[in-house]
A and B are shown apart, each in its own frame.
Chain A
Amino acid sequence: MANGADVSEFDLECSNLTKRFGGFTAVNNISFNIPNGSFFSILGPSGCGKTTLLRMLAGFLEPDEGDIRIKNRSMLGVPPNKRPVNMVFQHLALFPMMTVAENIAYGLKRQGVPKAEIAVKVQSALDRINLPDAGPKRVDQLSGGQKQRIAIARCLVLDPDVLLLDEPLGALDLKLREHMKVELKQLQSQFGTTFVYITHDQSEALVMSDQVAVMNNGVFEQVGDPQDLYYNPKTAFVAGFVGDTNRWKGVVKATSGSEVQVATDDGLTLTATGIGQGCKTGDAVDIFVRPESVALSRSADALSGMENRLAGQVKNVLFNGANSRILVQDPTNGGEIMVTLPQTGEFNDLRAGQDLHLGWKLSQAKCFAQEAGKASGAEVA
């Protein structure tokens, strides 16, 4: 266990971490610090290197370069069973041949804790996760949500400095997943342990985390709090991956300050805010506009304050209660745009085929330079 000789404000510090498999670089020179007691998520598509990173933290992989420090102690060369980190596995890895109590006691036994003390600790852990009677049950008698909690309790009873979670909600059905998001967040604040959570599900990351790192191709694209990532993406990948978005490709025609005039490939002229370097005249760029930042109107006049305006025809109404959207097609060039349907009552009778005016502000359209050979995030499906 950590001796805590040097008190640091960070539970986990990683510097210049690199891991290669043959010619493939899974994790490329990543540095980050996680403050004590925070919920930190690493969000990225499958194959982005997040699992490799997590396994390096757990000690199942050794980094090729860089250092991992937990409570100011380097973990290089420390085997997994000697690290002050515990992990909740993707499929939980609860031991099927043991009872719930034996599962929770497993780590304590390995530490040589006296039997009587183990019993007390196990019971208090069960109490804290609200399953006080689950001790003698077999693992396969538990529901999915209960298994989750046992897997977390099994780690937290050891009082780790950092708890790693490897997409533990992936196997649950949608409803339970929503519920567990809230519960996980509560458990984390209740125990005050630092959580490092990896996921490909942006909603999990946004709801639970204090800080989120968006990872792609072995690097962190952006680290920030959820609002920051959503409203102020720093890269095209983050803009595309976090939240749903409309996306156009185009070429910069003119710039003035951060304002960029872009001719899109399907023939529109849009005004957007240029982010970062490289939105100069003649550059190839991507423009991102979120479906909920587009204003709708039946008349063109109501949108006169918007820098971008479009007239189009409703092609499809994708009704889904509060999350309803419409697909609007520009009749001149056939380009489509997804717009969130405001639930103010005004558009409840909207049907396919009707004409509509759209508009959005300059600040809601983000323009990023296209980087050759770099994958971008998903678009609106």
Chain B
Amino acid sequence: MISSIPQSRTFRGIYAAYVSLFFIYLVVPLVVVAVFAFNDSLFPSLPWKGFTLDWFFNDTEPRLGVFHDRGILKGVGVSLFVAFWVTVLSLFVGTCNAFLFERNSFPFKNVLYVMALLPLVIPGIILGISILVFSNSLVNGVEDLLGWELEFLRPGLVLVILGQFSFITTISTLVISARLRKFDLSLEEAALNLGASKMTAVWTITIPYLKPALVGAGIVAFLMSFENFNTTLMLVASDSPLTITMFDRLREGSTPALNAISLLLMIVSAILAFISILVQREKGVK
């Protein structure tokens, strides 16, 4: 079953056909979404009525293109805002955690490490409701005791950011730790030996070494935040990120405008994926 072991032609043929079918299965839904963004019809379905760019650029109802659709554009803005903060926070905390777990020993290290992994095995919707419940208790408790109004901890973008941050940080921690583990400590010692202070050594040697992991983790964090639905659903208020906006539209009945925005998302994702692969490859050379 490896290339050095002979197999019958039939077996190879069937195997290759199976793999091809699998990739068709993988690609078809995405192709369909992309193609119907250009259908000159009010519905993203057959029959094909000709090619149009209306669903991107037209500025009047009922064929409102995405670049003129305020709801969609606002959703994109909110999602970018959320994703930016989630990325920044999770990279910062992930880097701290990586240094903490890889470089230090302290009491309860293993317990804390397992706890840090837990968000990966807690369903997103439960992370969402637990944070909803706790922030609600906190707001009410503080109001009863001290009379302060902690409005920002009511459902809204702050909670959405915190909710996504709570599990994306696990991923950034794992990615950055994996890279830091491969770091040769004598590089830092060499920097000290050549006259750098501890902070300078970390800043000029260790952080540049971690750069591929930071870029990779940053891209993953950004995309996961941008695409997150489950946790966001429970914590969102009036300012909806794009996924929530699209979900509501989808339930009302879809127009090819949704295909158009989906296609744009796919393109952006593909570009980010490409960057992340390039960065990983550069890392692989060393």
Q: Which residues of chain A are near B200, meaning CB under 8 Å?
A: 110
Judge whether A111 is part of the interface by a CB distance below 8 angstroms.
Answer: yes
22 A–B contacts, CB within 8 A, in A order: A58-B193, A79-B192, A80-B192, A81-B193, A86-B193, A87-B193, A89-B190, A94-B190, A95-B190, A96-B187, A97-B205, A97-B208, A97-B209, A97-B211, A106-B191, A106-B194, A106-B204, A107-B194, A110-B196, A140-B285, A140-B286, A158-B195
Do residues B190 and A93 form an inter-chain contact, with CB atoms below 8 A? Answer: yes
5 nearest A-B residue pairs (beta carbon): A107-B194, A93-B190, A110-B195, A93-B186, A80-B192
Chain B positions 180 through 223: 1 when the CB is less than 8 Å from some CB of chain A, otherwise 0: 00001011011111111100100011001101000000000000
Judge whether A32 is part of the interface by a CB distance below 8 angstroms.
Answer: no
Given A89-B190, A140-B285, are A95 and B205 neighbors across the interface (CB < 8 Å)? yes
Given A93-B184, A140-B285, are A81 and B196 neighbors across the interface (CB < 8 Å)? yes
Judge whether A191 is part of the interface by a CB distance below 8 angstroms.
Answer: no
Q: Would you give the shortest CB distance from B269 to chain A, in whole angstroms?
A: 28
**Alpha-carbon separation in the docked complex, A89 to B194 (Å):** 12
**Alpha-carbon separation in the docked complex, A93 to B184 (Å):** 8
Do residues B196 and A89 form an inter-chain contact, with CB atoms below 8 A? Answer: no
Q: Would you give the shortest CB distance from A193 to chain B, in whole angstroms?
A: 15
Q: Would you give the shortest CB distance from A135 to chain B, in whole angstroms?
A: 17
Question: Which size class do B's interface residues fall under?
Answer: 20 to 34
In this complex, the member of A58, A81, A82, A91 whose beta carbon has the largest number of chain B beta carbons within 10 angstroms is A81
Q: Would you give the shortest CB distance from A139 to chain B, in whole angstroms?
A: 9
Q: Which residues of chain A are near B285, meaning CB under 8 Å?
A: 140
Q: Would you give the shortest CB distance from B26 to chain A, in whole angstroms?
A: 36
Judge whether A60 is part of the interface by a CB distance below 8 angstroms.
Answer: yes
Q: Which residues of chain A are near B187, meaning CB under 8 Å?
A: 93, 95-96
**Alpha-carbon separation in the docked complex, A147 to B142 (Å):** 63
Given A110-B200, A140-B285, are A154 and B186 neighbors across the interface (CB < 8 Å)? no
Do residues B195 and A93 form an inter-chain contact, with CB atoms below 8 A? Answer: no
Q: Which residues of chain B are near A110, meaning CB under 8 Å?
A: 194-196, 200
Instruction: Please name the residue on chain A nearest to B191 by beta carbon.
Output: A106
Give residues 227-255 of A contacting B (CB, 8 Å). none
In this complex, the member of A60, A79, A93, A154 whose beta carbon has the largest number of chain B beta carbons within 10 angstroms is A93
Do residues A154 and B194 form an inter-chain contact, with CB atoms below 8 A? Answer: yes
Q: Which residues of chain B are near A87, meaning CB under 8 Å?
A: 189-190, 193
Instruction: Please name the residue on chain B nearest to A111 by beta carbon.
Output: B195
Do residues A90 and B186 form an inter-chain contact, with CB atoms below 8 A? Answer: yes
Q: Which residues of chain A are near B286, meaning CB under 8 Å?
A: 96, 140
Q: Would you give the shortest CB distance from A279 to chain B, in whole angstroms?
A: 46
**Alpha-carbon separation in the docked complex, A270 to B189 (Å):** 53
Do residues B186 and A81 form an inter-chain contact, with CB atoms below 8 A? Answer: no
Q: Which residues of chain A are near B197, meaning CB under 8 Å?
A: 81
In this complex, the member of B186, B192, B193, B195 whose beta carbon has the largest number of chain A beta carbons within 10 angstroms is B193
Chain A positions 264 through 306: 1 when the CB is less than 8 Å from some CB of chain B, otherwise 0: 0000000000000000000000000000000000000000000
**Alpha-carbon separation in the docked complex, A82 to B283 (Å):** 33
Do residues A80 and B189 form an inter-chain contact, with CB atoms below 8 A? Answer: yes
Chain A positions 65 through 104: 1 when the CB is less than 8 Å from some CB of chain B, otherwise 0: 0000000000000011110011101110111110000000
Q: Which residues of chain B are near A90, meaning CB under 8 Å?
A: 186
Q: Would you give the shortest CB distance from A12 to chain B, in whole angstroms?
A: 16
Chain A positions 107 through 134: 1 when the CB is less than 8 Å from some CB of chain B, otherwise 0: 1001100000000000000000000000
Q: Which residues of chain A are near B209, meaning CB under 8 Å?
A: 96-97
**Alpha-carbon separation in the docked complex, A79 to B208 (Å):** 24
Q: Which residues of chain A are near B204, meaning CB under 8 Å?
A: 106
Do residues A91 and B195 form an inter-chain contact, with CB atoms below 8 A? Answer: no
Give residues 156-208 of A contacting B (CB, 8 Å). 158
13 extra interchain contacts, Cβ-Cβ under 8 A, other than A106-B196, A110-B194?
Answer: A60-B192, A80-B192, A81-B192, A81-B196, A81-B197, A82-B195, A86-B193, A87-B193, A95-B191, A96-B209, A106-B191, A107-B194, A158-B195
Q: Would you give the shortest CB distance from B259 to chain A, in whole angstroms?
A: 43
Q: Which residues of chain A are near B190, meaning CB under 8 Å?
A: 87, 89, 93-95
Instruction: Please name the residue on chain A nearest to B285 by beta carbon.
Output: A140
Q: Would you give the shortest CB distance from A237 to chain B, in whole angstroms?
A: 30
Q: Would you give the shortest CB distance from A195 to chain B, in whole angstroms?
A: 15
**Alpha-carbon separation in the docked complex, A85 to B192 (Å):** 11
Q: Would you give the shortest CB distance from A153 to chain B, in whole angstroms?
A: 12
Q: Which residues of chain B are near A111, meaning CB under 8 Å?
A: 195
Q: Which residues of chain B are near A94, meaning CB under 8 Å?
A: 190
**Alpha-carbon separation in the docked complex, A300 to B186 (Å):** 60
Q: Which residues of chain B are near A97, meaning CB under 8 Å?
A: 205, 208-209, 211
Q: Would you give the shortest CB distance from A381 to chain B, in whole angstroms?
A: 31
Q: Would you give the shortest CB distance from A39 to chain B, in whole angstroms?
A: 20
Do residues B186 and A89 form an inter-chain contact, with CB atoms below 8 A? Answer: yes
Choose among B189, B205, B211 the residue that contacts A89 (Cβ–Cβ < 8 A). B189
Chain A positions 53 through 68: 1 when the CB is less than 8 Å from some CB of chain B, otherwise 0: 0000011100000000
